[in-house]
Structure 1
Amino acid sequence: MSIKWEGVMPAVTTKFTENDELDLKTFKVNIQAQLDAGVHGIVLGGTLGEASTLTDSEKRTLTRETVAFVKGKVPVLINIAEQSTKEAIHCAKKAEEDGAQGLMLLPPMRYKACDNETVAYFKAIANSTSLPIMIYNNPVDYKIEVTLDMFDELLEACPNIEAVKESTRDITNITRIKNRFGDRLKILTGVDTIALESLIMGADGWVAGLVCAFPKETCAIYELQKAGRIKEAIEINRWFLPLLELDINPKLVQNIKLAEVATGIGTENVRAPRLPLHGEERKHVLKVIEDGLKNRPTLPEYKNL
């Protein structure tokens, strides 16, 4: 089983009904929009997917339903964000049983593991599964950094650790990773606001957030820069930036779900303790979305460049 670690991989939102159950109908409307736009993979159960609020049964349902719906067109990955090594290994086993083609791994949750503990955690999970793995490196939000020396140890011990979701916010880290590991460790940028810059500096792909509401624009930026049409990619990115900034916010889930409503491929329903936006905060986000839609660019034909 292998994954081509490149292109746009949406970290999709989880859709809920008014009764706080999985809304698979709306979820599949969004997934179809992603496929139509030309995405290269689907990432389930990340931060944007409200992973911490999902039951084990719901995660398994999302995985099975997505795998069945996508029908092999793109790989389906499931995020693992657990408090114990034992439970993370259990989740990896279930993901494989449910047909996932890959895993995204976060460091241990709640406990701030040291470097040695973090490496041991990742090794134990990787050695328990045949699935290819992308390590999610986000020290800003999760307080644990996976350093290059740690990756050195992981890559030597675990052939199925193949990629990193690079979210340190330090674009120069892309060059450091490339200089150290070449193509052994594929890089997918994980921060929407610096995604284009990261791709130009050598990132192989983009695990994206606002793609959930604007799949075509996101894929256009990726394909244009890949084809060397940087000026056109920059023009779209300049329009996109105020929307992309909705992703680097504690309420990114509510923000992006509001954007999905505006583009007709989602609902606003979130799971408590999250609540829908209200007051001035809601007005601000709606204004950003409204301005974006008002000035939405006409995209060039970006497929098959």
Structure 2
Amino acid sequence: MTGPALEGIIAYPVTPFTPGENGGENGGGGDGGVDTEALTALVDRLIDAGCHAIAPLGSTGESAYLDDQEWYTAAEAALAAVAGRVPTVVGVADLTTRGAVRRARFAERAGADAVMVLPQAYWKLDEREVTGHFTAVADAVTVPVMLYNNPATSGVDLSPELMVSLVERVENITMVKESSGDVRRMHRLARLTDGALPFYNGSNPLALAAFAAGAAGWCTAAPCLIPGPVLELHRAVRAGEWDLAREVFQRQLPVLEFILGGGLPTTVKAGLALLGLEVGGPRRPLLPLDPAGTARLAELLAAAG
């Protein structure tokens, strides 16, 4: 087990889409191809704002809704836009182990510094199957692998004990992203490894609690919309200024809760449009944010500063 390869605010860009043939029928642009120009502009904004790493093609990046060629296009465009300025962690998910291996190898060849592996399930996976999946993906690459636990989107719930077991058994599985929404699991990860395992928060409303539990970083789409408050929270935590951290966190919490509750691709894309960066709508069956939701999001962004 190694020390943290990543630290701080790990920002998720959405995957922008060009208008498709159904873009005018509640498609919002989500039926077109990957808009690499808009993706490049968004990555530049995130890095210029001070984010410490970029993580394309996670749940926010609608990875599950992309075909292979679109996924390759988005991965290449994001890595080219980052251009080594900060670390890049590419999200890898597929229903099959073969597909996940293929995407992980592509990400490594394209220059990813690490891959974040999320298992996806149609049939319920047992512990033996989950272990085999992660081991096969990790064995296929040489870059560090981050285990990603997000049962709400993947259908697979990884216990702290299982994740620690994988980290101990597979050399290049070195990090964990915990997105179950239960901060007790982060405390459990810390206890099981005497604080040696780098873990990262993936649940926006738990950001402050996760840092208090020892999280090495916060994986979040929030910097797409409110980079200032997100980075200010991290600076306050690292300086040990917990009163300031609590104040900053409370100010941004309504935005964090809104974008999570409304679906990250839908709400973040609506917010970016409000801020002047058109990235298209989410891919159907997801639909763009409705007018009432858009108005509420505009209010929350203004209040968060």
TM-score when normalising by structure 1 = 0.89
Residues in 2 aligned to 1:258 and 1:250: alpha-carbon distance in whole angstroms = 11
Cα contact 1:190–1:206 (8 A) shared by 2: yes
Residues in 2 aligned to 1:154 and 1:107: alpha-carbon distance in whole angstroms = 14
> Unmatched 5+ residue regions in structure 1?
298-305
Cα contact 2:54–2:89 (8 A) shared by 1: yes
How far is 1:183 from its partner? 4.6
Residues in 2 aligned to 1:81 and 1:192: alpha-carbon distance in whole angstroms = 21
Residues in 1 aligned to 2:62 and 2:103: alpha-carbon distance in whole angstroms = 16
How far is 1:117 from its partner? 1.0
Deviations 1:110-169 (A, max 9, x none): 222011111111111111110111111122443322123312331222121111111121
- Within 5 Å, which residues of 2 pair with 1:235-250? 235-249=247-261
Identity %: 28
Counterpart selection for 2:85 from 46, 68, 73: 73
How far is 1:268 from its partner? 4.2
**Which stretch has the larger CA shift, 183-192 or 269-278?**
269-278
Report what 1:10 is aligned to.
11
Deviations 1:67-105 (A, max 9, x none): 222221111121111111122111111111111111111
Secondary structure of the residue aligned to 1:106 is strand
Aligned AA for 1:286? T
Report what 2:34 is aligned to.
22
Instruction: Answer yes or no: is 1:121 the counterpart of 2:133.
Output: yes
Counterpart selection for 2:303 from 292, 295, 303: 295
Instruction: Answer yes or no: is 1:135 the counterpart of 2:143.
Output: no
- Within 5 Å, which residues of 2 pair with 1:242-261? 242-249=254-261, 251-261=263-273
Counterpart selection for 2:43 from 31, 54, 58: 31
- Within 5 Å, which residues of 2 pair with 1:1-305? 4-19=5-20, 20-249=32-261, 251-278=263-290, 282-283=291-292, 285-297=293-305
How far is 1:296 from its partner? 3.6
Cα contact 1:258–1:286 (8 A) shared by 2: yes
Residues in 2 aligned to 1:180 and 1:8: alpha-carbon distance in whole angstroms = 24
Aligned AA for 1:34? L
Residues in 2 aligned to 1:197 and 1:149: alpha-carbon distance in whole angstroms = 21
Aligned AA for 2:14? T
Cα contact 2:205–2:253 (8 A) shared by 1: yes
Residues in 1 aligned to 2:199 and 2:164: alpha-carbon distance in whole angstroms = 15
Calculate the aligned-residue CA RMSD, in Å: 1.9
**Which stretch has the larger CA shift, 135-144 or 10-19?**
135-144
Report what 1:301 is aligned to.
none
How far is 1:295 from its partner? 2.5
TM-score when normalising by structure 2 = 0.89
Cα contact 1:27–1:266 (8 A) shared by 2: no
Aligned residues: 292
Residues in 1 aligned to 2:220 and 2:155: alpha-carbon distance in whole angstroms = 21
How far is 1:55 from its partner? 2.0
Residues in 1 aligned to 2:144 and 2:222: alpha-carbon distance in whole angstroms = 25
Cα contact 2:33–2:70 (8 A) shared by 1: no
